[in-house]
Every structure is written in C-alpha cells, then in structure tokens.
A and B are shown apart, each in its own frame.
Chain A
Amino acid sequence: MNSIIIGQYIPGKGFFYKLDPRTKIVAVLFLMIAVFMLENIAQLFMALGIALFILLLGRISIIKVIKGLKAIFVLLIFTFVFQVALNTEGKILSQANMHFNLYSVIGVVLAFIIWRLLVRVGKFKILMFIAFILGVYIILRYVNFGTDFYSFSLTIYEKGIEMSVFVVVRILIIITFTTVLTLTTKPTDLTHGIESLLRPLKKIGFNSEDFALIISLSLRYIPTIFDEAQKIMAAQASRGADFSEGKLKDKLKQIISLLVPMFIIAFMRSEELADAMESRNFVPGQPRTRINVLKFSMIDVYSGIFTLLCLAGAIVNKVI
C-alpha cells in the first residue's frame, strides 16, 4: 500500500530529472512571468510550441501531462464559455436566436438524459460533455416550433473566440510547466530547493532550514497517516459507521469519528517525535550539516541562460 509516488512524481530518466530543483523552480517562475507578458495569440502559440518542444526534448510523456490537465478541465470550459459570451469586440461571427419553447426544452432534457446514460456506460467523458454542449446549442438554435416563452440572441464575436482561445492556451502552458516540475522532482528535493532559495530570509528572522525540516517530516508521515486513516475507518465501520451512505447529520458524526482519533494520534506522535529528536541532539535553529546537498552542473547553467533569454525576449516584446 505504500509507494514512492507522493504527489505526481514518477521516477524516470531524461533531461529534467538531472536538473537541480532550484533551477527548475526558478525557471518555472520566470517562464510564467514571461508567458503573462505575451500579448497576442501568435506569440502565445509560439510559446506553446516552445513548451511542446521542451517536453519532447526532456522525453516527458505528453499523455501524462494531459492527464494532469483533467483536473482543471471544467475550469477551462468555463473560462472559454465566459469569454465567448461576454466579449463584444470585433466582427460578428455568428448571430442567432436561442429559442426556449416547449419542444426545445424537452429536447434539452432528453439530451441531458442521453448524456448521463452514455457517461455511465462509455469512456470518453470529456468528449461526451463537449457533444452535449454542442447538442444543446443546436437544439436551442434550431428547434423553433410553437411559441417561445423566452428567447435571447447569442452573438459570438470574433474577439470573443480569440480571447477565449488565448486565455485557455495560456492556462495550458502554465499548467504544463508546473506539471513537468512536479513530475520530475521528488517532493524531498523540491523541499530542499525551496529551502535553499529561501535561505536569504534568515536575515529577517525566517528560518528556512527548520521550515524545510517540518515539510520533510510531513512528507515522511503521509503514508503512515494514510494507513492510520484506513485502520480507523475499519474500526468505525465495524461499529456500523457507513462512510459511503447516510444523511448529512450522520455523516458529520462519522467524519468526527475519523478525525478525532487522527488528531489524538498526531498529538501523541508529535510528543514522542520531539523527545526522540531532542535525545538525538536536535536543537532548533542551530547549524547542522546536511547529508543531501544540491549541486549545480552545466545543464543548470544552460537551462538558466535559456530561461533568462525567454524572459528577456518577453520583456523586450512588451516594451516595443
């Protein structure tokens, strides 16, 4: 039940796995800033092209990245629809009345039912959803029998389409960067990298080393806590706590029966852990040597230069 795969990290070979985590973190940040400075679609598609090229270079499976996008798919659709509906600049691409009458409403309901049935049976949930949206559009536009009790004019402007594509592609590029980061960097290395970058903050009183220790302790305990949750659920299920069904009031009690033991165990653990750490000479804030060190290599230098060039290019582009 226990695995190395905490977060999205999947072990592998290739360019991105050899980079120092600090380089990757800074690169993602700079490239995100660069992308936000781009102003039109053409530039954006160029950036997308570069991103895809980088992916291929690093031999990152595009399929894995797409899987990471599934989570925000709904957000993307929303954004797209919003931009299309609200943007009123440019040429009118299409103008049509959307009719709400008895037949069209029945049509929409039927389409909905068909969609839910197909989703339960079939696999292509995302395509089904898109088909459903298109279907609703077609029905509302063309089913024109009888009297409308309501209608409105849906106007799609050129700029609307352009902007929505723009925003969606921009989100895609950003997500691609962060996915590559988490896919190729072990959580502990990521923590190490962040801690190293935050070290200058020591001067204003923030101890990044202790902070990093807290984060890595949390990571170390994730599988343990997961196991404990399972054990607690098993114990409470044996007393009739059904975690899948039940009214809201019951569910609340069930969640409490899971959370209270978890918290208590966590408190006991933190006491015992503190004792163990102290008995092994741990003193918070005191300097310590480290067994895991980060080292830069030439790849980091090249990547750094590339990132800076991209950023510089974006700035120059904006200024001109």
Chain B
Amino acid sequence: MSIISVRDVSFFYNEKKLGLKNINIEINKGEWIAILGHNGSGKSTLAKTLVGLLEPQKGEILIDQVLLNDETAYELRKKIGIVFQNPDNQFVGVTVRDDIAFGMENLCVPREEMLQKIEFYAKKVGMSKFLDKQPSNLSGGQKQRVAIAGILAMHSDILIFDEATSMLDPYTRNDLINYIKTLNKEGLTIIMITHDVNEALLADKMLILNKGELYAFEETAEILKKPEVFHECHLELPVALEVASLVKNIEVKEKLWEYALTK
C-alpha cells in the first residue's frame, strides 16, 4: 500500500537553478528509505516538497492517497513530520515540555491531552527527566530526540530525517540511529536523507539522486553490489563495499556485503 506517491515532480528554484526533474517514487507503509546524493543533488528539495514547504511547478504528490496542496497541507502535515539538520534551529520552546507541545498547540489539542502526550512521548525518546530543561542545556543529540517526540506527539507515521545526524558526533549519531531503528520496527515509515552511505545501508531501499534526477531506486541488498552507481553519482563507498567490488575471491565478497548490511 503506497503511503507516499511522487508523480513526475519537477521543481525549479529559478530559471538557472534546477531543484528536481521528473521524479517518480512510490514508498510503501513501514519502509525505510534512504535518499542519497552529493551536495546539490536535490535531496533537501525533495524532503521539503514532501512536507509541502515547497510546491513543485510540475507533477503531484500524494500522502496516504490524498493529493498534497494548499488546502490539504494542514491535515497532511499531521501524518508526515520532518527533523532537520541543525538541532538548534528547530527548537521552538523555551523548555523541552514547551517544544514538544508546540505542534499540538498548533493543532488545538486540549491542554489535559497535551500534558499526557508530553509525558508519554518524552518517555518514549528517553527525555522524561529533561522536561523542564532549556535547550541551551541540552546536547545536539538530545535536541534531536525532542524534535522526534514533538512529531510523534502529532501522531505522524511518516518521519523524514533531513541529514539529521550530520551535525552530531559519531557516538551520538549511532545512538540516534539505533533509536530510529526501533521506530521503524514499530511500523513507522522512515525516509532518511544522508550523504553517508554507511547510514544509508540500514535502509530497506536506497534512492540515489544525481543532479536533481532519480538515478537509482532499488533494494539495498542489490544496489550495494553495483559500485559504479555510487561512483557515477560522486558518492564514496564505505571501505567494506569498495573492497568487495575490487577483491577477487567470491566468498570474501559475500562476507563483505553481509558485513556492510548488518553493521
């Protein structure tokens, strides 16, 4: 069942700057999709069109079978949330509690319900003890967790991560990604935008953008055996895959592909 449909979407920033060209994608409920591409390939542009922050000049987007436009954006934004790259520039509230509440306040959720949901979702992301803390006392990873809680509290079942780990150190990054894994296991659809192929390997499918166009969209297990796809799109393969593509022994190749997928 298709939860997101992107049909022949094109977006131009202006005459000179192309964002996206003729993009066609179908994403199913519960899938984990990684969107990869070099800087400027259109990844963030695509993310923003999916939540209605940018309106494509051509084509249409359907979220849960409903066409995304000015009138439906408000309702559809309840289903699809986005966590941005800079943890500081999306934290609205003066405290963690206020920030998680922000989305619900916009949806006119009654106060009693808000308080309950805040307790519930803060616990879910492991931030129960931080409800009264200010953002200046939180680490980048903690702020991203608060962002996730705020979106889950709006009952979104699609989460987009727009390079949400790139400003975090490796240790915190791993932590956050493990948490996203649990969310996916619970049935949430995850769209993860990254230029880190290692992160992308966790996904069910990889979508590779190159200069605004869709270059490839395949199961991860298949695409990692095609190093030329990554090279042509200016993406660096992780060591294990680079080695797998060059080594002669087939058993070693298989072991390396296995290793890359399970890390």
Contacts and interface: CB of A to CB of B under 8 A. Distances in A.
A–B: direct contact at CB < 8 Å: yes
B114 interface: yes
B86 A280 contact: no
B78 A223 contact: no
Contacts of A273: 89-90, 92
Contacts of A223: 134, 136
B103 A280 contact: yes
Interface stretch (A16-24, A143-151, A214-222): A214-222
Interface string B89-119: 1111110011001111111111100110010
Given A216-B94, A279-B53, A280-B154, A224 B88 contact: yes
A16 B169 CA distance: 44
B151 A280 contact: yes
Interface string B34-77: 00000000000000100111000000000000000000001001
Do most interface residues of chain A lie in helix, strand or loop, or is the interface mixed?
A: helix
B84 interface: yes
Interface string B145-156: 000001100100
B110 A289 contact: yes
Contacts of B19: none
A280 B106 contact: yes
A217 B110 CA distance: 22
Contacts of B86: 272
Contacts, number: 92
A269 B90 CA distance: 9
A219 B91 CA distance: 12
A273 B115 CA distance: 24
B78 A281 contact: yes
B94 A219 contact: yes
A154 interface: no
Interface in A1-23: 2, 4
B77 A217 contact: no
Given A280-B102, A280-B150, A220 B93 contact: yes
Given A216-B94, A224-B88, A281-B106, A290 B74 contact: no
A289 B90 contact: no
B81 A276 contact: no
A278 interface: yes
B82 interface: yes
**What class of interface size applies to chain B in its complex with A?**
35 or more
Contacts of A288: 105-106, 108
B30 interface: no
A291 interface: yes
A227 B140 CA distance: 14
Interface string A252-293: 000000000000000011001101111111110011111111
A269 B92 CA distance: 12
A217 B111 contact: no
Interface string A207-239: 000000000110110011001000000000000
A214 B53 CA distance: 21
B77 A291 contact: no
Given A289-B109, A293-B111, 16 more contacts: A2-B136, A220-B92, A220-B94, A220-B135, A223-B134, A227-B136, A280-B106, A281-B74, A281-B107, A281-B154, A283-B74, A289-B105, A290-B105, A291-B101, A291-B104, A292-B98
Question: What 6 A-B pairs come out closest when comparing CB atoms?
Answer: A2-B136, A223-B136, A276-B90, A272-B89, A291-B101, A281-B106
12 contacts: A4-B134, A216-B94, A217-B92, A220-B135, A276-B89, A279-B53, A280-B77, A280-B103, A280-B106, A283-B106, A291-B98, A291-B111
